[in-house]
A and B are shown apart, each in its own frame.
Chain A
């Protein structure tokens, strides 16, 4: 079945560091990928929709200069948290889906980001 790979799975870094998270669709092409953020014991909140070859669409309240998204190919989207601070610590998860009405979104395993 369709698989989405997300890397790294865990990041701990100092405040002020920029962190890049990769999301790859392994056996299908994904013109659109999604980036979610999840705080402990809360639901997933959509941050942005990543579109191959064009600018990402950000949800209200998400700083596009803080969370840079690059979808350079049909199988790869990256999320870069620029100049990360402790309040950016969270669980970030990406997803993509194959075309087809009943195709679910397939999720990466997520990235736990801890900013010290």
Chain B
């Protein structure tokens, strides 16, 4: 079974509007971390935001916020006030286990976001 599922292969959003990118996950480990990365066409992976499984509040980083619904096992990324530079691939990822530098990331299939002027 897929551990990380991103159901939206591609999305359009109008500039200055907000957009939500979906991510659901599957794990039996009570300790895990959820991450979102942005990958522009140049290829580099840019870390955006992190949510720990024990965090009580939704994570926020500037225009990025994570809508964490633990019971539903979803960790949707919300981008407010979209900008043209937000056009990129976005990957949701999960690390199972806690505070272990050796734990790998499992990635979802990605969502390509295109911001329209």
Do the two chains belong together in a single complex? yes
Name the residue in A93, A105, A110 with the highest tally of chain B Cβ atoms < 10 Å from its Cβ.
Answer: A105
Proximity bits, A83-111, B CB within 8 Å = 1, else 0: 00000000101010111111111111110
A62-99 residues with Cβ-Cβ distance < 8 A to B are 91, 93, 95, 97-99
B43 near A32 with CB under 8 A, answer no
Q: Does B85 contact A (CB under 8 A)?
A: no
How many residues in B have their beta carbons less than 8 Å from beta carbons of A? 24
B33 near A49 with CB under 8 A, answer no
How many residues in A have their beta carbons less than 8 Å from beta carbons of B? 30
Known: A42-B110, A107-B45. 11 other contacts (CB 8 A): A31-B102, A34-B105, A43-B108, A43-B110, A44-B45, A44-B91, A46-B106, A49-B104, A104-B50, A109-B42, A110-B45
Q: A101-B33, A101-B52, A104-B50 are in contact. Are A44 and B107 (CB under 8 A)?
A: yes
B98 near A101 with CB under 8 A, answer yes
Q: A101-B52, A109-B44 are in contact. Are A95 and B102 (CB under 8 A)?
A: no
B98 near A43 with CB under 8 A, answer no
Compute the total of residue contacts between A and B using a CB distance below 8 Å: 63
A44 to B47: give the CA distance in the assembly, Å: 14
Minimum Cβ distance to chain A for residue B43 (Å): 4
B102 near A32 with CB under 8 A, answer yes
By beta carbon, the residue of chain B nearest A102 is: B50
Contact residue among A93, A102, A107 (Cβ-Cβ distance under 8 Å from B33)? A102
Q: Does B68 contact A (CB under 8 A)?
A: no
Minimum Cβ distance to chain B for residue A9 (Å): 9
A112 near B105 with CB under 8 A, answer no
Name the residue in B44, B45, B108 with the highest tally of chain A Cβ atoms < 10 Å from its Cβ.
Answer: B45
The 10 residue pairs across chains A and B that have the minimum distance between CB atoms: A107-B45, A101-B99, A104-B47, A32-B102, A110-B43, A109-B44, A99-B101, A43-B107, A43-B109, A44-B107
Q: Does B35 contact A (CB under 8 A)?
A: yes
